[in-house]
């Protein structure tokens, strides 16, 4: 197990020491989809839900989630987050879906992929909470990192949907 960075040679989990890494500008973008019904998406967009305006609430929740990632994921480093952008928009190709996108930035020694994933997930959970009175069957799905930049490994973006994992 010594080639896995979050395990010591004796197999115990530990937080990776990043103190020798260079401080660089880092950014990560993650996405997710809340699948519901078209009439519910219309209510999300119009702000006509029993709990109130869902988009702004989800956006703030996502930002808070990004900032609290190391409190939720045990081996994540606390990072000085310099920016978080959350977009919550109806899916262009599916009238019963809402796309959630989070972009997180920092200047630090490790990346912000986990913060972007947490932001999307918390925003999606908040949307679900806001709509559950009108659709308990909604599903949060397809949460994934789609791009990252900075650090030793440089830039990366998810291959097009038609490519397989083996092609990536």
For residue 135, being part of any structural domain is answered with yes
Residue 77, domain CATH: 3.30.70.640
Q: How many domains does the chain have?
A: 1
* Known active-site residue 129: yes
For residue 3, being part of any structural domain is answered with no
For residue 6, being part of any structural domain is answered with no
The predicted pLDDT at position 19 comes to: 79
Task: Give the active site residue among 129, 135, 155, 167.
Answer: 129
For residue 37, being part of any structural domain is answered with yes
For residue 46, being part of any structural domain is answered with yes
Euclidean distance between CA atoms 22 and 20, whole angstroms: 7
For residue 64, being part of any structural domain is answered with yes
Looking at the DSSP bridge assignments, the partners of residue 144 are: 31
Q: What is the pLDDT along the chain (168 residues), one digit of tens a residue?
A: 446 566 667 777 777 778 778 888 999 999 999 999 999 999 999 999 999 999 999 999 999 999 999 999 998 999 999 999 999 999 999 999 999 999 999 999 988 999 999 999 999 999 999 999 999 999 999 999 999 999 888 899 999 765 544 544
Tokens 């989800």, located at residue: 58
Residue ranges with strand state E in the chain? 24-35, 81-90, 97-108, 139-149, 156-157
For residue 159, being part of any structural domain is answered with no
The predicted pLDDT at position 153 comes to: 85
For residue 43, being part of any structural domain is answered with yes
Containing structural domain, residue 63 = 25-148
Radius of gyration of the chain (CA): 18
* pTM (whole model) above 0.75: yes
């Amino acid at each position: 197990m010594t080639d896995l960075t979050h395990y010591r040679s004796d197999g115990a989990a530990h937080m990776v020491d990043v103190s020798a890494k260079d401080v660089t500008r880092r950014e990560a973008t993650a996405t997710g989809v809340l699948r519901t019904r078209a009439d519910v998406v219309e209510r999300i967009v119009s702000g006509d839900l029993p709990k109130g305006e869902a988009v702004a609430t989800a956006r703030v929740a996502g930002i808070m989630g990004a900032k609290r990632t190391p409190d939720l994921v045990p081996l994540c480093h606390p990072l000085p987050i310099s920016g978080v952008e959350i977009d919550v928009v109806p899916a262009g190709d599916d009238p019963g879906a809402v796309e959630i996108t989070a972009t997180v930035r920092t200047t630090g020694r490790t990346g912000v992929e986990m913060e972007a994933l947490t932001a999307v997930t918390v925003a999606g959970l908040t949307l679900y909470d806001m709509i559950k009175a009108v659709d308990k069957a909604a599903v949060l799905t397809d949460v994934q990192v789609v791009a990252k930049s900075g650090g030793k490994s440089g830039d990366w973006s998810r291959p097009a949907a038609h490519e397989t994992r083996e092609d990536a």
